[in-house]
Amino acid sequence: MKEYDLIIIGAGPAGLSAGQYASRSNLSTLIIDSPIPNSQLVNIWDLENYPGVFPAVNGFDFLTTMQNQAKEFGAIIENHQILNIAKDENLNVFKVVCQEAEFSCKAIIVATGASHRKLEISGEKEFTGKGVSYCATCDGPFYKNKTVIVVGGGDSACSEAEYLSAICSKVIMIHRKSSFRAQKSLAQRVINNPKIEIIFNSAVKSIEGNQKVESVTVQNLNDNSLQKIQTDGVFVFVGMIPQTELFENLQKDAQGYILTDEKMQTSQKGIFCAGDVRSKVFRQIVTATSDGAIASYSASEYIKELNNEVYS
């Protein structure tokens, strides 16, 4: 069993930021990513809203740079399927059991992220990054004075549609229900917005195009009729799925995101949390990297306390 001071689970922006800060603090640090990496960052074609990074860079390239930076400072990055995480209260260490390896550590940072709930329709996967997006803040400016479709009817869908209406010439919202699920005040602003057209009781059945999105096929759920709508882009906001399968015992909010204090400490001592899997009001790359830095600092202080290295 290999021993580390800190194990970070997840190699997205939050995990890599934590790994960089931890390694620079002289903590032996292992970052465990899943066998098939799934950071949302790789879906961003042009990352243009990260402070200090301009002109825009490809999300995959940005992630690769973060990986190289963390490794340069000493972090080890490995891909494993984690089977179980348990704490040995007698030794005050965590044991991380993977399919082909076992590790122990004094502290853990959970940075497993959250995945966008998909429509699971034809064309969605093929045009992701080529007209299909899950982040208006990231990709909205690329559709200035163009027509876009927003799929969904909750708070996120309505707030993102309102944001896009300030950039695009027209926003078409498509929602399966007969009314929005969003907060009343937010929903009313969308309804009153002259640049937003709303199509209720309908679902997007497929996304079409050649090199990029050109149209969608929409089904009316009342009479099953189909219509094709021309569009330059499709923004999908039908919910997020926090990746918390390994941490069922941690306290979570009503949506399933892990609760922390301002130091990123979870309900279990020694386990910290950072990034999109954490309960918070705004999820962006910049907030994920900030979470990671804070979680790393807090984990370092916790480890110093375990090692009796805290001096008054």
Q: Which residues are catalytic?
A: 135, 138-139
Q: Which two tokens stand for residue 99?
A: 């399919």
CA atoms within 13 A of residue 126's CA, in its CB half-sphere: 12
Tokens 């990496």, residue located = 37
Q: Residues 110, 10: contact at Cβ < 8 Å?
A: yes
Residue the block writes with tokens 């199509």: 199
Do 62 and 39 form a contact (C-beta atoms < 8 A)?
Answer: no
Q: Tell me the sheet residues that pair with 32.
A: 9, 78
Peptide bond connecting 13 to the previous residue in cis, omega within 30 degrees of 0: no
- Which residues have C-beta within 8 Å of that of residue 71, sequence separation ≥ 6? 77
Looking from the CA of 3 toward its CB, the CA atoms found within 13 Å total: 4
